[in-house]
Structure formats: C-alpha cells, structure tokens
Amino acid sequence: MFAELSSILNASPDSFTQGEFILVSDRQSDASFLIHHFLSFYLRARCRVWFLGLVQSFNHYSAVSQRLGVSLAQAKEKGQLVFLEGLKESLSVLIPQDTNTGSKAMDFLRDPAVGLKSLYEFVRSGVSSSGSRAEGAEEWGPPVLLVDDLSVLLSLGVSVGAVLDFSHYCRATVCSELQGNVVMLARCDGEEEEGDGDDEGSETLLKGLTHQCSLTLHVQGLPTGFCRDIHGQVEVCWRRRQGDGQSTQKKLFQYKVHDKGASFFAPGTSSAVL
C-alpha cells in the first residue's frame, strides 16, 4: 500500500468511500503499480476481493504484494481473496481436458461475439454471496472487484460495447447494490489524437469507462521525456454529482516507483472545478 497515494485520495484502510467505480488507465506507460496498491489497500481494509487477473499470473501479483507486506496466499486460504487466473482459465477453454474443473467465466473465448455474460455471472454470483458466511468464518467488509486489464478483452475479439456493458453491470451490482468498490485498468498504447488508427477501440473504451467512473487515475510519461528521478505523472480526477450537474476536480502528480512503494510529488499540481 502506498501511503502517499492514500493521503492524496484521502483514504485509509479504516476509512474509505464506498460505492466507487475507480478507473486506472495508462498511455505509453505502466499503471500496474496502482493495481498493486489497490489490491493491498482493500485487503488491509478487510474487504473481500474478487480479482480478475486477465494479464498476469497469481504468482506475479503474490510476489509484488509480498514486498508490500501482504500475503495473497493467506488471503486466498482465509477466503478473503478470490482470484481468477485468466491465463490458466483460458487454456482450459481453448484446450479442453477430460476432467475440466475450471470455471465458466472465460467461456466467451469460444465465441467472443456472445459478449461477457459468463464473466459477469461469475462476478455477480460471487459478490452476491459475500454476505453469507459459514459459522465460525471471518466476517469481511464490502466487496471489491479488481480487473487487470479490460483492454486485453478487445484483442480477444470482444467488442467495445460488450466490455462497456460488462463494466456497467459490474458497477450496478457491486457499487450501487452492494455498496462495494470496483477498480478496473484500461490501457491505450497509442498517441492521444483523433483518427481511425489501430487504437480506436481502446480510445473508445477509455472514453466510455471515463463516463461511468467516479474517480480516474491516468498514468503517462513525462512530456519532457525520460528522467531518472521521476518515472512519470498521474492525473487524478474526481467526479461528483452536484445538483443536476457534475463537478470535476483534477490534480496532477509526478511519481517514482520504488521496490516497496511509490513517491508522489506535486510541484506543478493543477486543480480545476468544472
């Protein structure tokens, strides 16, 4: 957990806003350190976490979390963490075994055109049962859904509309119905400019997700180029309903990622309310 980032977001494991949809995005940079932050943060907050790891393995996240002082293996054993290892589940769909014990969450790989209903049902059935617990089992806080990352679904043939539908239903179930939180990562590898390039799908996805979320953290490189002491910058944007409209506040921070955390600097912090 990165203490400086928690301070910026005015949150702690003992006190944080519920019902939030948080979008983490990056452009020609790597925002995965923020996913590691939110994973360790919500586990420390004693939330029950559903993690859709569509890009990296459980061992990858476990190794990073260990350096942040959190054991994912213990969290899984206690039932606090439910981890869908997308890479392994994909193999069970694409290369069926005689004794298939995998979930049906990745069934969309057989026909991406059908959408992500199976993946959503995996999430819905899990988080909806989070309130019930066996006698003697530990009691957890509000449910949290983490997804790393949505953009990979586009490369698997899923349409932008289907991905946005998935995020909308997840938000309705987790944030609105259960007052839990959702954190999703989306990547845009191209330059930020209009056109009909190869990244049009990821740009459309990012814009659609931005309209749905209440908090965005957008990571990008420094406009001045490479710097050894600063790895990039993060634009944090809060969106809050205000009367019939919406208020937006933005702040810009520079950051440097260390082995056990990250430092955030704000020499040129900008703030605007629209």
Q: Got the DSSP string for 145-169? A: EEEE-THHHHHTT--HHHHHHHHHH
- 181 located within any domain: yes
- 194 located within any domain: yes
pLDDT at 274: 35
> How many distinct structural domains can be found in the chain?
1
Beta carbons within 8 Å of 142's beta carbon, 6+ residues apart: 18, 47, 178, 179, 180, 181
CATH number, domain containing residue 62: 3.40.50.300
Range of 105's domain? 22-216
pLDDT at 132: 56
- 247 located within any domain: no
- 145 located within any domain: yes
Distances (CA, A) of 130 to 39, 195, 239: 17, 44, 28
- 68 located within any domain: yes
- 16 located within any domain: no
Contact 116, 169 (CB under 8 A): no
Contact 239, 214 (CB under 8 A): yes
- 222 located within any domain: no
Distances (CA, A) of 53 to 49, 181, 185: 12, 17, 11
90: number of Cβ within 10 Å = 16
Helix (H) or strand (E) holding 23: strand 21-27
- 151 located within any domain: yes
Contact 210, 23 (CB under 8 A): yes
> Consecutive 10-residue runs of the chain (274 residues): their mean pLDDT?
86 94 93 94 96 93 92 95 88 66 78 90 88 65 94 92 96 96 90 54 93 94 79 90 76 84 64 42
**27 φ, ψ to 5°?**
-140, 115
